[in-house]
Each structure stands twice: as C-alpha cells, then as structure tokens.
C-alpha cells in the first residue's frame, strides 16, 4: 500500500547559470508529496490497526525536516558567490546553503535523502520511502525515486 502526505512552503532561490529570468532571485510556493510504502497493520488492538503509518507521524517528520528548515527562507547554491556574500553580511535573513544548483530536481533528491534516513530509523524495514514529488508552483513537478539517488 502507498500513502502520500503533502507539505507546502514558500522559498526563494535562483539558478545562476540559467539563460532566462530564473537567474534572478525569485520565489515559489513549493509543495512536496511524500509517498511511503508498506503493509497495513493488522494486529488486533494496535492503535495503528488498519494503517500503514499514522499520517500525523509523517506530518511531524515533514514539518521538522522540510517546513521548519525551508519555509520563508532562501535556498542558495554554495557556489553562488553573490548570494553567499549577501547572506554572510545579513545573517538575520533565513537562508539554506546547499552543495547543488537549486532546481526542483535537486531539491527533490535532497528531501528524499533527508526523509529516507528518518523513515528507516523510525520504521526499520516495515515502511519505506517510495518517492518524493516536488512541485515548483502549480504546473511544474520533479519526481525522485530511489533509483535516482546515488547514496
């Protein structure tokens, strides 16, 4: 059985090497669809009987590992000297420095890696992360599955 929990956040970024206006600092309303896979719990009397996992458990992990870190921040590629210098001088401005170009594809991989560890630690082999979809606005989406990851 597959389950999906959705979380959204607002975040700025820019694509320094891009040939269009995306090289400028701008923001999006992002949404991540977290897809887990596992078996339904059938143990009589278990508080999670009939579930794969409690949606509230997924929400808590997503809030801590995605929303709290990214919402109303600016994700910056560590090689973007202009923005790295700006945020070094303006430390009160929320920013996240990452070692990759801040495309939806790379953000999906980053989220997959973060959540995969959390889910493995919490559920062992009973539940696994199937995929992450990152929506960059209402019409553009990147989907990351385990085969897309180089651990």
For residue 69, count other CB atoms closer than 10 A to its CB.
16
Active site residue 13: no
Please list, in sequence order, all residues whose beta carbon lies within 8 angstroms of the beta carbon of residue 18, skipping any fewer than 6 positions away: none
Q: Which of 22, 35, 105, 118 is catalytic?
A: 22
Active site residue 22: yes
Q: Which of 74, 95, 136, 144 is catalytic?
A: 136
Q: Strand ranges (DSSP E) for the chain? A: 2-13, 26-38, 73-77, 95-98, 127-136, 141-145
Active site residue 28: no
Q: Which of 26, 72, 88, 126 is catalytic?
A: 72
Q: Which residues are catalytic?
A: 22, 72, 136
């Amino acid at each position: 059985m597959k389950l999906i929990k959705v979380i959204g956040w607002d975040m700025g970024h820019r694509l320094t090497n891009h040939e269009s206006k995306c090289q400028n600092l701008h923001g999006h309303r992002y949404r991540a669809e977290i897809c887990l896979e596992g078996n339904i719990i059938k143990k009589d009397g278990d508080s999670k009987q009939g579930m794969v996992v409690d949606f509230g458990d997924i929400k808590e992990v997503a809030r801590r590992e995605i929303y709290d870190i990214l919402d109303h921040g600016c994700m910056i590629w560590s090689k973007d000297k202009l923005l790295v210098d700006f945020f070094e001088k303006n430390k009160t401005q929320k920013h996240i420095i990452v070692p990759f170009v801040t495309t939806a594809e790379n953000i999906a991989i980053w989220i997959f890696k973060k959540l995969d560890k959390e889910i493995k630690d919490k559920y062992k082999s009973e539940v696994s992360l199937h995929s992450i979809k990152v929506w960059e606005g209402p019409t553009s989406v990147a989907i990351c599955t385990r085969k897309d990851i180089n651990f």
